[in-house]
Amino acid sequence: MANNALLFVSNAAKAHSICMRASKLVRNVLYVKIKSNTENTLPVISRQIVNIYSKTQNNLDVRLMLRSSGSGKEIKTNYPIDLILYEKDLHKEVEMLKQSVVTLNSKHSLQSIDTHDLPEVDEMDQPVKTYDYVAMGGTFDRLHNGHKILLSQAVLRTKKHLALGITDINMIQSKKLWELIEPIEHRMKVVLNFLNDINPELEYNVFPLQDLYGPTKDDPRFQLIVVSEETNKGALKINEKRKENGLNPMDVHVIELAQDTHPQRSHEEEEKVSSSNQRMRLLGTLLRPPVPNPHILDWPYVIGLSGGIASGKSNIAEKLRAKGAGIVNCDIIAHELYKPGLPLNHTIAETFGAEVITETGEVDRKRLGQIVFGDKEQLEKLNTIVWPAVVEEAQRRVRTLGERGHRVVVMEAAVMIRARWYRRCHQLWSVIIPPEEAIKRLQKRNNLTEEEARQRIEAQPTNLEQVAHANIVFSPYWSYDYTQAQIDKAWDHLQEYLRHRN
């Protein structure tokens, strides 16, 4: 099996069927080049774009090359070609075609594909109108086949210039699991890589999109905007703005959403191919490999479990306990150290006043919370007192659980990120839910007003901070079964990792 291959196709109408056969021979990237790519074949190619990308396996990066055909044109791909595939009908031309490939590995292979048994396809195709200046926009997180359909249809309709706005951070925060969306610089780079691969002859302007309109609201050169069914309303608003600015409205080309054919798609996920589904599938998987930590003992293997108030991290911890992990709950340790007669109780009373101590000598956590969660200076003062005592006791309990035979110990703490206790762990696993959901849960659980709950949520690290440090992320926002599936994935991966760990 080759890493990267280039498939030459003579009959555009058979491109999808031939591609399906060729895909079994390639591991990473499969380029598809239709030998005769002219204006007359654009309607057929438009249909093939949909067929190829909607039916291709997700683990193979297929790229249908859309540059117009012409004698003497070199083919330069972003990835080196190990294998040349071709229809048997092209056997007399394959040497000439091969010589046009600039990025062909010196040690490459040739293989023909028999297509005589493939049925002739005779469908009526819609005409394809082309334009000098075309625009489109989107998030384009983790480039998938749905994105490739959108991008390819836009490229197919562009004669000169394609402007592509990639939504910046201010435009993505309403999206599902937006904290897992790739940085905009990376998304822009990946999209441009794909565009230059499928047609390097066009001008591309890939830029951060800060609002709905981008340059389309006041640039008279734009003639077409390409959108999905979901973003069609946005195109109508843009054209309204253009009319206000005295410009002609753009033509609008709407792309149907591709169906998600993932074999393990959950009913919690969307039916269409989407980046949201991909982000949901990242839950419970390794986002970044663990870095060896020479400052802590090899065993037991310590997982730091972080998450905001009311995020559901304690339920996650219990599910991990059921898997066999030892659990050290730092929040419980803090409450235990608050007990009457203990040094921490006395220090808190001296620092914050007698009003934070109940008649029975207990720390009044609700009263203390009212003082510190609305005052950053007071919160830092409390943390300076509490954190050292808690982490010292937590580490003592971790060692004890290890001595009792636990190979994995989970150290759960709401302040894991802010206190940087993850530096005392081998991995960090974080739990996130949408802030508005956390506020609702906290109101109900602690009988707080919305403002009190919001203050507490906003006084802690954001979901973005939780994700930035995490090796694995969970979100118990959906069903019990969906949460359990995340735990199962993470635990199975951990066991496999520990089996190969020295």
Domain residue ranges of the chain, discontinuous segments joined by +: 2-113, 131-255, 283-499
Element (H, E) at 409: strand 408-412
Q: Given this structure, which CATH class describes domain 2-113?
A: alpha beta
32 near 7, Cβ under 8 Å? yes
**For 298, which DSSP code?**
S
pTM summary value: 0.85
Exposed / middle / buried, residue 77 (Cβ in 10 Å: 0-12, 13-18, 19+): buried
Cα separation of 2 and 52, whole Å? Answer: 20
Give the chain's residues under pLDDT 70.
37-39, 70-72, 117-125, 260-265, 267, 270-271, 502
DSSP state of 290: P
Structure tokens at 292: 């060896």
Q: How far apart are CA 2 and CA 171, in angstroms?
A: 40
Identify whether the C-beta of residue 67 lies closer than 8 Å to the C-beta of residue 97: no
CA nearest to 175, candidates 150, 139, 144? 139
| 159: three-class secondary structure by DSSP | strand
Cβ atoms of residues 140 and 175 within 8 Å: no
Instruction: Please tell me the predicted confidence (pLDDT) of residue 205.
Output: 97
C-alpha to C-alpha distance for 433 and 307, rounded to whole angstroms? 9
Predicted local confidence at residue 456, as pLDDT = 84
Q: d(Cα 13, Cα 41) in Å, to the nearest integer?
A: 9
Return the exposure string of 474-485: e unless at least 16 CB atoms fall within 10 Å of the residue's CB, then b. bbbbbeeebbeb
Provide the pLDDT for residue 72. 61
CA distance 175 to 167: 11
Per-residue pLDDT at 487: 96
Using CA atoms, how far apart are residues 34 and 199, in angstroms rounded to an integer? 13
Q: Which of 435, 445, 454 is nearest to 177 (CA)?
A: 435
Tell me the torsion sign for CA atoms 74, 77, 79, 83.
negative
Q: Does domain 131-255 have CATH number 3.40.50.620?
A: yes
pLDDT score, position 227: 94
C-alpha neighbours within 13 Å on the C-beta side of residue 476: 19
Q: Which of 265, 262, 232 is nearest to 250 (CA)?
A: 232
Q: CATH homologous superfamily of domain 283-499?
A: P-loop containing nucleotide triphosphate hydrolases (3.40.50.300)
Do 2-113 and 283-499 show the same overall fold?
Answer: yes
